[in-house]
Structure 1
Amino acid sequence: MRRVRIAFALLSLALAAGATLLVGHAMASLRAERAAQAETLAARIFDEMERELSAFLAAEEEAPVSDWRARLAGGPQFVRARFEISGEGEVGVSADEPADLREQLAAWADRRVTRPLRRESPSTPPRDALAETPSPSRLAKEEKETVYEALQSLNRGAEERVQRARKIVPGEGRVESSLADADRIDTQAQPDALAAPAAVEPSRSSAAAPGVAPAPLSQEASDTARLGASSTGSRTGSTNAAKRSAAIVDPLLGDRLDRATLLLVRTVLVDGRGLRQGLVLDEAALGGWLAERVGSRSGIPGLEIRIGNAEDTLGTAYEHRFAEPFEALRAGLRLPALDGGAGAAAILLLSGLLATVAAVALFALYRMVAVALRFAERRSNFVAAVSHELKTPLTSIRMYAEMLRDGLAPSEEKRHEYARTITAESERLSRLIDNVLEFAASERGGRRAELAHGSLTGEIEAIAEMLGPHARGAGFTLLLSVEPALPAVRYDRDALAQILVNLVDNAQKYARSAIDRRLELRVARSAEGVIVALRDHGPGVAAGDLSRVFELFHRGGDELTRATKGTGLGLALVRSLAERMGASASARNVEGGGFEVSIVFPVIARERAAPTALTPPDETAERDEA
């Protein structure tokens, strides 16, 4: 059994380890799937933000050049102001804006436009300084950027802005009064310079990834200016040229005015004169507007959106850098826990069920193997005990028979003693053989009981009279107590006799060391029926063996130190024979010492019972058939 336990323990550990690995892999796959879903959801939300910004840019870039500053009313709340910076550096701001904003814009223009130009050409500034100046976005992007930051904005929003390029807007020749007196380009001398769209090379800025500045309009502007300068001698067609003049407009580019304010600026070239037009955006309001529009459409409760600079998005699970011209903005997301609890619960539930089924199956298998091994061990002990029990009476019978044959009995009294011994051992051998045969019959399904109806009084008295000498020969006294007027029961005569013989033999074996050598046979009426009980005054049965006394081949005590003889069939056959008659068997330790086995016979209904005499088996069968 020890090896069996070790084998089952190792098998259980192997199954548990495999199940644990399987469940762990399933849970890890579920977590990875949920993480991928969260990343996909975050990417979709970021794309929605890019679409909103792209739609805003598209609307602004379609705005007419001539009434740029007048379009503030009715615009988004995050647009604080619109401004224009002329070629001479004059700053114009939309109405109702504080003076400090104009000063900030002038300082920004000086820092981003005038100073870089002075550093490049301090002695001979170009004819139009603003047109020749690199775009503010290029100057801002000269700062070092990491590859990660550049790759972060390669998303759908950036791809949608690929078509943002320089465009020609017909009929926008007179933009501002400050440009009315500027030198005009002789479009008749170079008719294809502005009229044909192919003459203007599209800007590659919008197709580049963030971190690569859009190409400014300075080169194209200076080329156009030079074309105009080469034809200043011919001004006869100026009136027609004014009608055909068009504005060349670059896409909006981004820059930062201060920590809380963004700028969107575009370069406009009209008749060789350039100016900057732009918007002043409140970063906090822009972030709130974007978060509200995207968050309300997402329908995700608990979604947290942060929009601002890199410090504002610290601590968020997902970060995104917007595409040009909003590359100064960062977005951070904190998603609520996705609804994946059902999958995890299903895995855990199935794992629990699998573990429970496996544990029950292993335990049942272990119990089956253990019972089979114990039964095989008891059967082996039974074979050894039967061999011994058969050999002992045969040896005695042979010895005393040979002594009688050879005339070795010294007296007549000894001859009678030898004869009694031979008879007793023969009876003992017969009982053992009967038990073995009964066990074999029970293994094959048992023989059919021949039940009789009637009182047990007469049968019990006859059997007790037969067993009295047998008990006295072993040094015991069999006492019989029968309650009068017992009700009728069903019983089998042979089975009842074999039950009482086995009970007496069992009592003699286990109570032979008792001082009180009485065996009390009691027949009485109880609430359950008629009870037949045999009690000895021996040491009783150990508490651990009391529930197993009716098992086949079970014998109390250790097989190596056992002093009591027996095969382990006696009480097992008692219960089997009792159940065959419809009775039940039980055993208990009696207070004050001793062991008692009880057989309870159910009482027959009054109309079926014979009140006085026993009914023969054949008559009983005929009555049952009737």
Structure 2
Amino acid sequence: VDWPNLQEILKDSVNDLFPEADLVPVRDVMPSHPEQTMTALPLQLEPKAVPLAGPEGWTPLRGGLAMAWVALVVTLVTVALTGWSLIELSERRIRFVSAVTHELRTPLTTLRLYLDMLTSGMVNDEKHRQEYLHTLHAEAERLHRLIGNVLDYSRLENHRQQPNLSCIQVAELIAQVKETWCDRCRDAGKELVVENALSPTVEIVTDPALVQQILGNLIDNACKYSRHASDPRIWLRVTTSETRGGITDSTIHLTVEDRGPGVAKAEHRSIFLPFRRGRTVDPTASGVGLGLALAARWTTLLGGVLTLKTPRDQKGACFDVALPSGPGREPILTSHDSKG
């Protein structure tokens, strides 16, 4: 047998699979590795280690696989975000329907009961009749504010509301708010205290109706959620920001403060989301959780910022509305301790 020639022929036949293979004669009757032993010849294949060498750098195959993985990741992220958005939208709708249904049922029940008593002639005493009429007026006003808030929120969601800017003296604007809310606060057992540190001639270019709605929502919340506070006062303060040099800037601050239970630290951000109410609030207090959300969006619409700050006595809630004194001016926020 021409062993060298035979060995070369056999190695060439497996060279594509085992380029470093070697053929070793088998002298034992029972080979140690029968799976590597040839059937016709007493030879054993020693394949040795095969180096796994591949092309360096990017290849068309690698590029295609990378693009496929990127596309898969993007698809999964998109699906996850879409699913989260749908779940969030569904939860918001459920909260909306539940809150509005509850808030509508209570005043409607009161209106129906009192109207039935008045129309059936069950109330003959004039004093009691006036009390019932006063209650009916209060419940009708409550319904009006509820429906108004829902419609305002719908307009903001659809980007249909635009501010109607005009120049007005800050003192006149605050006087209008005081005239509207002094009696309402008194009916709720509260006292509205107005502190205006600005000159009577200071003017602001803004939407007076929106500012009144913003402050109205904040004062209304203060009345509802500080119902059991030992101090019945609600403060409406008007100030301006000052730089370190003592120069007054163009930002006007309208602050509403009460001595109620305040806002839990964990809710300082979520409190401004629609249909959210604090966990520590009085569960009997009316509202659907739109007051602060509307106030924050209206403030942004006017170029301002609504923040939750630390009250002066470290107790209660303090909401600060920072508005630019004129159009095109961004409000300069102060360095007060903000919790919003």
Q: What SS does the aligned partner of 1:341 have?
A: coil
Relative to structure 1, is the Cα distance of residues 579 and 352 closer, same or farther in structure 2, using a 3 angstrom cutoff?
A: same
Aligned residue type for 1:523:
V
Question: 1:579 aligns to what?
Answer: 300
CA distance in 2, matches of 1:540, 1:345: 62
Matched, 1:604 2:319: no
Judged with a 3 Å threshold, the aligned counterparts in structure 2 of structure 1 residues 367 and 154 are, in CA distance, closer, same or farther, namely closer
Q: CA deviation at 1:378?
A: 1.9
**Relative contact order, higher structure (CA 8 A, sep 6+):** 2
Q: Counterpart of 1:579 in 2: which secondary structure?
A: helix
Q: Which blocks of at least 5 consecutive residues in structure 1 are unaligned?
A: 1-137, 156-315, 322-331, 606-626
- 2:184 corresponds to which residue? 470
* 1:496 pairs with 2:211: yes
Given the superposition, is the C-alpha separation of residues 595 and 410 from structure 1 closer, same or farther in structure 2, using an over 3 Å criterion?
Answer: same
Give the alignment's TM-score, normalised by structure 1.
Answer: 0.41
Which residue identity lines up with residue 545 of structure 1 in the other structure? E
Contact 2:267/2:278, CA 8 A, preserved across alignment: yes
Aligned counterpart, 2:290:
569
User: Taking structure 2 as the reference length, what is the TM-score of the superposition?
Assistant: 0.71
The 3 A distance-change label for structure 1 pair 572 and 490 is: same
1:336 offset after TM fit, Å? 8.4
Change (3 A) 1:424 1:363: same
Distance 2:164 2:148 in 1: 17
Contact 1:532–1:598, Cα closer than 8 Å, also in 2: yes
Q: 1:537 aligns with which of 259, 274, 282?
A: 259
The amino acid that maps onto 1:572 is: A
Q: 1:317 to 1:153 in 2, by over 3 A?
A: closer
Q: Is the 8 A contact 2:198 2:240 kept in 1?
A: no
Spell out, residue by residue over 1:247-285, the C-alpha distance to the aligned partner (whole angstroms, 9 max, x if none). xxxxxxxxxxxxxxxxxxxxxxxxxxxxxxxxxxxxxxx
* 320 and 454 in structure 1: CA distance in 2 versus 1, 3 angstrom threshold: farther
Structure 2 CA distance for partners of 1:340 and 1:514, relative to 1, 3 Å: same
One-letter amino acid matched to 1:519? I
How many Å apart are 1:530 and its aligned residue?
0.4
**How far 1:420 sits from its partner (Å)?**
1.6
The answer (yes or no) to whether the contact 2:168–2:208 under 8 Å persists in 1 is: no
**Taking every aligned residue pair, what percent have the same amino acid on both sides?**
29
**Within 1, Cα distance between the matches of 2:10 and 2:300?**
85
Kept in 2: contact 1:540–1:589 (CA 8 A): no
Q: In the alignment, what sits opposite 2:35?
A: none
The match for 2:227 is: 512
Kindly state the Cα deviation for residue 338 of structure 1 after the two structures are TM-superposed.
5.0
Q: Go from structure 1 to structure 2 and tell me whether the alpha carbon gap of 1:153 and 1:335 turns closer, same or farther (over 3 Å shift).
A: closer
Partner of 1:395: 109
Cα offset, 1:413, TM superposition: 2.7
Q: Does the Cα contact within 8 Å between 1:541 and 1:589 map onto a contact in 2?
A: no
| Partner in structure 1 of residue 95 of structure 2 | 381
CA gap of 1:420–1:563, structure 2 versus 1, over 3 A, is closer
The 1:599/1:354 distance shift into structure 2, 3 A limit, reads farther
1:454 aligns with 2:176: no
Structure 2 contact 206–326 (Cα < 8 Å) conserved: no
Deviations 1:31-65 (A, max 9, x none): xxxxxxxxxxxxxxxxxxxxxxxxxxxxxxxxxxx
Structure 2: state its 5+ residue gaps. Answer: 14-18, 25-46, 242-248, 328-340
Residue 457 (structure 1) shift: 1.6
Instruction: Work out the CA distance in 2 between the residues paired with 1:510 and 1:433.
Output: 20
For the residue of structure 1 that corresponds to 2:100, the secondary structure is helix
| Aligned match of 1:430 | 144
Give the aligned partner of residue 272 of structure 2: 550
1:355 Cα deviation (Å)?
4.4
